[in-house]
Structure 1
Amino acid sequence: MAGLKTIIVLSFILAIGFLLVILSAALYKNFLTLLVVATYVIAPIPNWLCGRASSQDDFMDSGSSSIVELGRFMTGFLVVMGVALPVVLAHCDLIRPEAMIMSIIGGLLIYSTIISFTMFFHQEEEF
């Protein structure tokens, strides 16, 4: 059971992640690094949707469903894109390397906080 301290710590880490991404955009006057926030916020959605779409049958459990694997693949793709996008933008000299580093660290903090929130506050459905 997650308590109030868990919520406070995760909120603090999320705020630091957003602060790093916003500062990477504002300090270097290039707002392309804000695309990282979109990829990390959208990343858990395919996993959640595909997990809901798979049928949970108590009598026939075939291991893993292909729809669940598709959701995991799309989530993994979006997470890798969130890291690779600032690297590609810095390689093309569209953003500065310092902004790239701040954006990657902030994005990873945001995504890890989202995953931690869902892990700590996940409730099993009982019939």
Structure 2
Amino acid sequence: MASGIRSIVGLSVCLATGFLLSILSCALYGNWWPMVVVFTYALAPLPNAVFGGYVSSDPLADVSSSVADFGKFVTSMLVVSGFGLPVVLAHSGIITGAAMAMSISGGVLVYGTIIVYSTLFRSHSDF
């Protein structure tokens, strides 16, 4: 039980640090365009959550669900746009390079937290 609480606290610290870096990338440089990336943080896990229930429960089934594949595609599209948008904004001169680096590092922390949380607390059914 104590290891579960420690992992929850550690993940929440990483998530808060990621959001802090994203907000600081906007506030320190007086340009709020990197805040658009935060919307991709919130939207990225939703397609897997919505379409993940359409996966076959039989692990030996050779049938792949196109609905679940579509959810994975939309999730990957949102994650890639979360990393690519700061690069495009910095390349076009809208934000500075330091704001881009802070926004990308905040994205790494947020997405990493989501991935670690989903792998740590996934319920495994043994039969």
Report TM bin, short chain.
0.7 to 0.9
Give the conservation status (yes or no) of the 8 Å contact 1:86–1:104.
yes
Higher relative contact order (CA 8 A, sep 6+): 1
Q: Is it true that 1:104 corresponds to 2:113 in the alignment? A: no
**Letter of the 1:108 counterpart:** V
Give the equivalent residue in structure 1 for 2:36. Answer: 35
> What are structure 1's unaligned runs of at least 5 residues?
none
Please give the residue correspondences for 1:57-76 in structure 2 after superposition, counting only pairs within 5 Å: 58=58, 61-76=61-76
**Letter of the 1:79 counterpart:** V
Give the conservation status (yes or no) of the 8 Å contact 1:17–1:108.
yes
* Distance across 2 between alignment mates of 1:63 and 1:56: 8
Per the normalisation by structure 1, the TM-score is 0.88
Root-mean-square deviation (CA), in Å? 2.2
Structure-2 change in CA distance of 1:68 and 1:55 (3 Å): closer
Give the conservation status (yes or no) of the 8 Å contact 1:47–1:68.
yes
Q: Is it true that 1:85 corresponds to 2:85 in the alignment? A: yes
Percent identity between the aligned chains?
A: 48
> What are structure 2's unaligned runs of at least 5 residues?
none
